[in-house]
Structure 1
Amino acid sequence: MSVFLALIRRDVTLALRIGGGGLLGATFFLIVVLLMPLGVGPDPAGLARIAPGVLWAAALLACLLSLDRLLQADHEDGSLDQLALAPLPLEAAVLAKATAHWLTTATPLIAVAPALALTLNLPAPAYGALIAGLVIGTPALSLIGAVGAALTVGVRRGGLLLSVLVLPLYVPTLIFGARAADQAAHGLPAGPSLLFLGAVTLLALAISPFAAAAAIRVNLR
């Protein structure tokens, strides 16, 4: 457990030191959401109608922005080979790296989401469902992204290939996350959508570390 936590701490420290994931993702999230009223017009009713989908799509793309460095830097400096040989199971190492990615990328988005939702005139009843959905659903984005990063590790300029691989797998999280906020905005119970969102995250938690570890082992041969 101490090695697992140390790996998380190392990745978080590196991400903060180089000014990566969190700041870049939050800035991208901010720009996309603030540009939306300029593109679709300032009509409050229209903005409120599209707000859940816009916020979730922007959060998804912001998380995707830093995925190509999740394993690539470790591959380039040889750390990935050391992780594969370390006493810590490779599956646990992948889970630690996905956790660090979530902490540095998704948590800043969750923190600024309420302020940005205000600019899109999101109805007040939907705020709780939006934040709950982001907390429940964004771990799946990092876990699924870890599989894509493992499949493309070592591929030169594999960012586009990574996006093609993981975006279809992000669709259930996008649908249930946006639907939960939309249902809450219309006074409907958001619980069922949040439960489905949680099921997607749990499924990703059960499968992704093993799939990513297998892909890494193949790429390191």
Structure 2
Amino acid sequence: MNTAVVATPSAPATAPGWLAGLRCIFLRDLRIAARRRTDALGALLFFVMVVSLFPLGVGPEPALLRTMAPGVVWVAALLACTLPLARLFADDHQDGTLEQLLIGAHPLPLLVLGKVAAHWCSSVLPLVLVSPLLAIQFDLSASATGVLVLSLLLGTPVLSLVGAIGAALTLGLRGAGVLMSLLVLPLLMPVLIFGAGAVQAHSAGLDVGGHFSLLGAMLLLSLLAAPLVTSAALRISME
């Protein structure tokens, strides 16, 4: 348990204290992720294997590979992002840290945002960084690869933020991972559609500004709403 992020209810935290709590929970979760590297490594290996199997299965036709590349990479990223999410709050729930966070003076949505940011940096960012290498298998051009990476940078934080809601709702339930996927995946279809659509539009010579604008709007909405909804779900799950 990291008591640095816990404050007594009788001494409300100030704005600088809130930022200190956000930083503390973010660094704490990053340290935990560094000690438990198998979760992030498993998600990365899953992503690489799923993306790499498609060129082997469909054959070496460059035009077909370029057409299917955005959808394959985005679907693999979506599935890989959900793998570590089941444990986002589970360990804190088991050792009692989550109860302390709920009764502490720091705003719970801010602490949730710190945990989600740590999850994205430790488990999802490596997927984004390795995606240009995987794009070579699909014969994507350098500009199309750049659009793919940018769409992943805008879209994958939405996957983590919305996934946190599912992780909070299924906290403590048997088979939480499967149930969380069933709850979350339908909500993430717009991100998948516009993320993959940006690369397809670029390959067709169309403007991708609309796709990026929608991804940015979804990211902003998720940043504002997801921590609040996740906090409410956590309080319900802990009752």
- The normalised TM-score by structure 1 is 0.97
User: Is 1:144 the counterpart of 2:162 in the alignment?
Assistant: yes
Task: Please point out which of 165, 174, 199 is paired with 1:156.
Answer: 174
Shift of 1:16: 1.6
Give the structure 2 partner of residue 111 of structure 1: 129
SS in 1 for 2:142: coil
1:181-196 alignment to 2 at 5 Å?
181-196=199-214
User: Is 1:72 the counterpart of 2:90 in the alignment?
Assistant: yes
Give the structure 2 partner of residue 17 of structure 1: 35
User: Is 1:201 the counterpart of 2:214 in the alignment?
Assistant: no
Q: What is the total number of aligned residue pairs between the two structures?
A: 221
User: Is 1:83 the counterpart of 2:101 in the alignment?
Assistant: yes
- The normalised TM-score by structure 2 is 0.90
Q: Distance in 2 between matches of 1:86 and 1:121?
A: 52
User: Deviation per CA, 1:66-109, whole angstroms, max 9, x where unpaired?
Assistant: 11011111111111101111221111111111111111111101
RMSD over aligned Cα, in angstroms? 1.0
Give the structure 2 partner of residue 210 of structure 1: 228
Give the structure 2 partner of residue 175 of structure 1: 193
* Structure 2 letter corresponding to 1:52: P
Shift of 1:156: 2.0
SS in 2 for 1:125: helix
Q: Which stretches in structure 2 are left out of the alignment for 5+ residues?
A: 1-18
Give the structure 1 partner of residue 4 of structure 2: none
Task: Please point out which of 8, 12, 25 is paired with 1:7.
Answer: 25
Q: Distance in 2 between matches of 1:156 and 1:5?
A: 32
User: Deviation per CA, 1:6-59, whole angstroms, max 9, x where unpaired?
Assistant: 100111111121114422211111000110112211211111110011011111
Higher CA-based Rg: 2
User: Is 1:127 the counterpart of 2:141 in the alignment?
Assistant: no
Shift of 1:119: 0.7
